[in-house]
Homo-oligomer: A and B are copies of this chain.
Amino acid sequence: MIRLDATAPGFADAFTALVEDRRESSTDVARDVAAIVADVRARGAAAVRDLTLRLDRHDLDVTGWRVDPAECAAAYAALEPGLARALDLAATRIRAYHERQKPADTDYVDAAGVRLGARWRPVDAAGLYVPGGRAAYPSSLLMNAIPAKVAGVGRLAMVTPTPDGQINHLVLAAAHLAGIDEVWRIGGAQGIAALAYGAGDLAPVDVVTGPGNAWVAEAKRQLYGVVGIDMVAGPSEIVVVADALNDPEWTAADLLSQAEHDVTTQSILFTDDGAYADAVAAAVERQLDTLATGAVARIAWEANGAIVVVPTLAEAMPLVDRLAPEHLQLAVDDPQALFDRVRHAGSVFLGRHTPEAIGDYVAGPNHVLPTGRRARFASGLSVLDFMKRTSFLGLDETALAELGPATVALAEAEGLPAHARSVALRLRLNR
């Protein structure tokens, strides 16, 4: 953890270093992934089977390529009732929030008599990647699947690695709840490639979303354009802006809720009170000692954590904008005043009683958010990621007479005579 004082000499350089520390994987996985993608494209199911045998140590022809929908239904039925209710509440609230994202079509006739508009339609099929192992989160499955369902996508195919054939039953329960149509036991870059190109009985999809490791992220990047993808995701981060009226234990837990995900995550506190900064730092140390995920969280906090003391919280906001954080908590009495100054953030958590964890599960907004300063230009996952827009226009003879001559002039100026001719013939101009 580094501690910075915004009024100290050298702060500008130190803060710039913090902003520019991207924490992206330095491993060059691009070449490995390119080979896997090419193999799956060329050999289809045979390549997927070979890669799964090598990387996940099970034979798909023996363990089975797909998980039976009845197995997902059974996993859901077997959930502890409190957990089932929690998942149901999450699904209901996520659905309600995303319903409001459905875009409106437009269709109008303007003053020139031109019919104009845009029509939104869902993609035909979406593929969801769900990680196996430690990061097998049913909440992520809901966050990816429900927007696709709300968009109206007809077919949802999920791929997930089952190392040594083992599968996470909580994920299967969530797949049942979310209405996933197909669950495939395929992981890694080969899972992404199989979704994009198809493999055996797995038909290709149009959009691939979902979190994954560096291989999965690189495969999505390489296949962007063959399919649509949600985004290039990197390590996660949280920024907490808090005054001294917060309980330091609450703030410490908020910072650690990010740090416990992975050693590459980043937690940053901005506060206007040096003594409060001390109190939070001490609370983090105490909580790390008792946290089951403390080993991971400690590495993340020590390597990437930061506490920045600023003269006033208002002065923190331009600094926060430079970080363009994935998650931003504004733990003050009047969060709106600070929120009004925010230009770049994935999701904002307003007030002292809105810990980021609420947004991870049940609040409703999506928890798939732009990381690594990408909130400067990217948005969280939404219904729009599973839809596309077709524009349209229609002219009658009168409207063409009005717009045609300008089109002919521009086409000729650009050296495109067939463009000009397609209009001129209809206008009965002699060209």
Using a CB–CB cutoff of 8 Å, the interface residues on chain A facing chain B are 82-83, 85-87, 89-90, 93, 96-97, 100-101, 106, 110, 112, 114-116, 118, 121, 123-124, 134, 137-139, 170, 206-207, 221, 224-225, 227-228, 231-232, 247, 249-250, 253-254, 256-257, 259-261, 287, 291-293, 297, 335, 339, 342-351, 353-366, 369-370, 374-380, 382, 384, 388-397, 399-400, 403-407, 409-411, 413-423, 425-426
Contact = CB atoms under 8 A, between A and B. Distances in A.
Contacts of A85: 406
Nearest to A137: B414
Nearest to A34: B30
Contact of A139 (B342, B353, B400, B414): B414
A128 B422 CA distance: 29
A335 B394 contact: yes
A224 B224 contact: yes
A89 B114 CA distance: 14
A394 B224 contact: no
B422 A293 contact: no
A355 B426 contact: yes
A122 to B, nearest CB: 9
18 contacts: A85-B406, A96-B110, A100-B106, A116-B365, A206-B376, A227-B377, A228-B374, A259-B418, A260-B418, A335-B394, A339-B392, A344-B390, A350-B394, A351-B395, A354-B394, A354-B395, A379-B388, A380-B391
B390 A345 contact: yes
Contacts of A228: 374, 377-378
A197 to B, nearest CB: 11
Contact of A357 (B83, B110, B364, B407): B407
B232 A116 contact: no
A302 to B, nearest CB: 15
Contacts of A253: 418, 421-422, 425
B121 A343 contact: yes
Contact of A89 (B339, B347, B406): B406
Nearest to A103: B103
Contacts of A374: 225, 228
Contact of A392 (B349, B377, B391, B414): B349
Contact of A376 (B112, B124, B134, B413): B124
B390 A347 contact: yes
Which one of A115, A348, A413 has the greatest number of beta carbons of chain B within 10 Å?
Answer: A413
Q: Which of A106, A366, A405, A417 has the most CB of B within 10 A?
A: A417
